[in-house]
Structure 1
Amino acid sequence: MLITIENRNYGSFKYKNSTAYVHYRNSVVAEVPIEGELVPARGKINMTTSVDLKAETMISNPNFMADVTSGSLNMTSTASLHGKVSLLKIFKFPATAFSMCNISFFILTKSIDSKCTSKIKL
């Protein structure tokens, strides 16, 4: 899996190792390790990571077959990145970046659509 982390702010953000979670109908179906990194001010980084999907958790959900029949599986992912914001390499503030994505897997076209929102708390 390829993850892009974009920093639109004027301060760099260095975060610690973290874990993102993928949910299917309120059940955690995957844990995604995210290695700590420095995201430069007004920059972005790409990282690759692996995902172990808990297929048995998805299949055991009573709504799974109805979702497959409808042609799409909808999931959400959440992540919290704890770290520090650095301004001008002088001022450092603790910060947490939160991200939530709505992910749709379209079965017939074998395509994926995702829409993400994020915010940072200083």
Structure 2
Amino acid sequence: MVIPAIKLNVSLGIVVTVNNRNYGGFEYQNSTAYVTYRGDVVAEAPIQADTIPARQKHNISTTVIVLADKLITNPKFLDDFKWGLGTLNFTSATTLHGKAIILKVFKKKAISDCTCDTSLFLGNVSSHSYCKSTVKF
């Protein structure tokens, strides 16, 4: 018996608002954000090169490609899902390579890492996220 391989991808347009409280801007290169579920990559989002101005909020638009087949074939998915009443835990990770811009004159190579743990509570259709970001020079 041959079982066909099923691919199910869903694209979601999103806008992420970054609040840069620093006195320096950040100019970054193209990158990709990854979302994992129990160690499996279940979504990817390309991030186009841009500049985040100092002491401002900046919107980043992208499309998240959800690899739904990877999510639902995870052995723990049904246990976590519990037929619509459970909790799904995801981790997103983004690394941006670029330059910190100080006083609009000085540029120093920098890497910004951001990791977010997000829980989706299916019973009451809500979510909670905790994010941690670091910058290395």
Distance 2:35 2:26 in 1: 24
Distance 1:2 1:104 in 2: 19
| 2:104 paired with 1:92 | no
Match of 2:61?
A: 48
Shift of 1:26: 0.3
Shift of 1:89: 1.9
Shift of 1:110: 1.9
Shift of 1:48: 2.3
Distance 2:58 2:20 in 1: 9
User: 12, 22, 35: which is aligned to 1:9?
Assistant: 22
- 5+ residue gaps, structure 2: 1-13
TM-score calculated relative to the size of structure 1: 0.93
Larger gyration radius, structure 1 or structure 2: 2
Letter in 2 for 1:3: V
Deviation per residue, 1:66-121 (Å, 9 max, x gap): 10116110000000011111111221100010000001111122222211110100
Structure with the largest fraction of strand: 2
Match of 2:128?
A: 113
| 2:88 paired with 1:73 | yes
Distance 2:58 2:45 in 1: 17
- Number of residue pairs aligned between Structure 1 and Structure 2: 122
- 5+ residue gaps, structure 1: none
Shift of 1:57: 0.9
Distance 2:105 2:70 in 1: 47
Distance 1:2 1:107 in 2: 23
Q: Secondary structure at the match of 1:84?
A: strand
Q: Secondary structure at the match of 2:63?
A: coil
Structural RMSD (CA): 1.2
Deviates more, 1:16-25 or 1:104-113: 104-113
Q: Secondary structure at the match of 1:103?
A: strand
